[in-house]
Structure 1
Amino acid sequence: MKLSEKMAVKYSDIVIGDNKGIIDYIKSEYSKIVQNKRVELIAYGGDQVSRVQDDSLFEKYPFCREPYSVTVCRIEPVNNVHVILEAFSEMLDETLVFVGNLEKSEYGRSLKEKFSMCKNIHLLDPIYEPHIVNWLCSNAHVYIHRHSAGGTHPSLLLRR
């Protein structure tokens, strides 16, 4: 991996990083190679969300009146869905709002069947209205990041 990294830096026309830490690392680790190259930062984009106030949504999601944790994701094993649901099934005094495409795969359907009876876990179908997703995320007490692979997820770029 290290050799591949070095070759990529050496033979690129422009070196691009997606955050300042990566750029600093490249400049430090490969200072001789990049001294005559452009090294650019293209920050990971995402919608910046401020707290969304919309009391009308409490009618549809009354369980959000009390502190809750939230996660929104595709239902894939790499997203640790089973780990999160298992943990919350044992923490009966904690509320989880889980938004995802549970009906799309056998994995998702089996999780829905197993955890839909947990009173503290609210399994919601995918929500495609940004206003509602932003409301659920920005009003949550805890946001759960669930990926075990990949880089920075845009949902972590939320701000209060």
Structure 2
Amino acid sequence: MAITKTTRTPRKTTTARKSTSRKTTTSTAATQTLATKATKAVKARPKTTAAVATGALAAVAAAGAAYFFTKTETGKKAGKDIKAKASRIKTRAKEGASDLREKAGDVSDKVKDGLSETGQRIKDAATRVRTRDGVAEKSMTEIAEEALTLKETGRKSRKPVDPLIEDQVKAGAIAY
């Protein structure tokens, strides 16, 4: 076996070069300004940011209204006027509600009377129909006596029968 000697070639030394494809940022959380943080928050969560801004605007408006109504003479007068108008509206609403209750009671009474009267009319009409058709109100004993009498005499009771069915019974087409 022969031994061969390998020689190494020296490497070329290169100077470090900067990458142009990536930007390096040197700012950290400590060095970011409030505007930068706010911009990032708006981009990350636009709906949440809008809700927060709306709430802040409402709070500022409420504070301004409170100052106007408590500190300025015009505001104090306006506050008193608003309170008086609210009191008048409340009184009118109470009066309207009591009037409405009275009217509702009157209508309710009329409806109850009408329903009871209609019920009585229906009962009277049903009684007239029963007596007209010969089905007057009979007691159970009267019905039983009539049935026994009809059975003994062999007569059939008078029932309205359809002529077609009567013909079929006579011909024997319908068996009972």
Instruction: Flag whether TM exceeds 0.5 (same fold).
Output: no
The bucket for the TM-score relative to the shorter chain is: under 0.3
**Bigger relative contact order (CA 8 A; separation at least 6):** 1
- TM-score, normalised via structure 1 length: 0.14
Larger radius of gyration: 2
- TM-score, normalised via structure 2 length: 0.13
Of Structure 1 and Structure 2, which has the larger fraction of its residues in helix? 2
